Amino acid sequence: MTIGEAFRTGGLEIHSSGVTQDGAEHQFSVVYEDLEIAEVIGRGCSSVVLRARHVGTDRPLALKVINMFEKGKRHQLINEINALYDASHPTVIQFLGAFYREGAVTIITEYMDGGSLLNVLQQVGAVPERALSSVAYQVLLALDYLKRGKRIVHRDIKPSNLLINSQGVVKVTDFGTSAGLQSSFAMCGTFVGTFKYMSPERMKSERYSYSSDVWSLGLVLMECATGEFPYRDETTAIDLVQTIVDAPAPELDPSSFPAEFCSFVADCLRKRPDDRSPAQALLGAPWITGGGLAVNLNADLVSATANVKRWIDSPS
């Protein structure tokens, strides 16, 4: 609820100079007066994303401004802040704070200067397979962290929620529809997220868990590799749902892509959730390790980001 110049719900309190969770102030406190607002970089039905600069530190920031008069958006806001408040991982978007002003809450995150994978697909087309393996590696690191470190199912993995920067770093963003689970074996039962990328069990309103994000990643990789959404022939939502639920999972053309990549995508897109490998296991798949990535986390990230950066610098 809104009280004066603050928005309070559960253990969250967002006021004009910052945000607290269960009484603990977030360490990076930003007020509107410290910001130099630049251009709009994204827009939704009741939110807008702006690029900005923090005057005191000269740091570029992304600001998501959310209208608090819509109940559904308030719920997504709470999800996002709760998920990111104490998150700390190199492939998860960094949350830098929030403030309340004139009936809107502004969420502050780091700025990713390359935009989203959706932007990449729209501007340059398909992603080369070698660069894509390094993109997949970084997303898998994030999914593994969300499962084992945060007990969170993202529930909306798609190209527009995977951000990239000019250094080759890929980060998972937009946790508005995420769900926290009590353990690695817990299950969700609600229908949220972008239905195009939903797993079969979610389409059928069955219980689901972390493996639903792996299915979504499989579709994203196919789309990035081919430049087209895997279910492009389905023209209506009903047709799409029926095809995802009833038809065999889509497959890459083995005459166009290496066997290890085809096998990796097939492993993500197994119809039965229990048959899908978890993110931790997929990190050791031949398609990932064959890209020259080491076993050590930091060394892997250096190799993965370097691979993506080489592609960004020379996309042809």
**213 has catalytic annotation:** no
Closest to 181 (Cα-Cα) out of 152, 144, 212 = 152
Partners of residue 184 on adjacent β-strands: none
Q: Give the angle subtended at the CA of 248 by the CAs of 190 and 256, to the nearest 5°.
A: 115
64 is in an annotated binding site: yes
Cα separation, 237 vs 135, whole angstroms: 29
Cα separation, 5 vs 101, whole angstroms: 7
Cα separation, 149 vs 137, whole angstroms: 17
Spatial neighbors of 11 by CB under 8 A, at least 6 apart, are 21, 22, 23
Q: Which one is catalytic: 144, 156, 174, 213?
A: 156
Closest to 301 (Cα-Cα) out of 171, 211, 173 = 171
What is the number of other CB atoms lying within 10 angstroms of the CB of residue 50? Answer: 19
Closest to 195 (Cα-Cα) out of 206, 203, 183, 185 = 203
Residue positions forming the annotated binding site for ATP: 64
Residues annotated as catalytic are 156
